[in-house]
Amino acid sequence: MSFRVILEPGAHRQFKAIARWLNDRSPSGADRWLDAFDKALDQLERNADGCALAPENSLVKREIRQTLFKTPRGRMYRMVFTIVESDVRVLAIRGPGQAPLKRRDLR
């Protein structure tokens, strides 16, 4: 099955903040992160329902999943999402060292 991936407003803000933070420190590092992010989106389009449940799944009634992706330097990031029919709705993008999501982050 093919999915349509949608960044929810909170995830879109997180995406922009991460990209800006990385670009301020290393434009080439930001480019590598964007490459890894795009590959993760492609994977979600093809196989979102094959991703594991997120640790936050127990916080809400709907099913919450996650996919992990890393940069060439090995920094691990994750996208937390839910599937609604044929849409993958990305709720959050988390970087290394960020605190776990809370219920209010998953609305």
Does residue 96 register a pLDDT over 90?
A: no
Name all domains of the chain by residue range, CATH numbers in brackets.
Answer: 4-98 (3.30.2310.20)
Q: What is the pLDDT of residue 54?
A: 93
Task: Give residue 97's region: left, alpha or beta (phi > 0; psi -120 to 50).
Answer: left
User: Which candidate, 6, 18, 7, 101, places its Cα nearest to that of 60?
Assistant: 101
**Dihedral sign computed on CA atoms, order 105, 40, 13, 72:** positive
pTM equals 0.92
pLDDT band for 91, please (50, 70, 90 cuts).
very high
Instruction: Over range 76-82, report the average pLDDT.
Output: 95
Total number of residues shown for the chain: 107
27-47 vs 9-25: helix crossing angle, rounded to 10: 150
- Residues 65 and 60: their CA atoms lie apart, in Å, by 12
Q: What is the pLDDT of residue 36?
A: 95
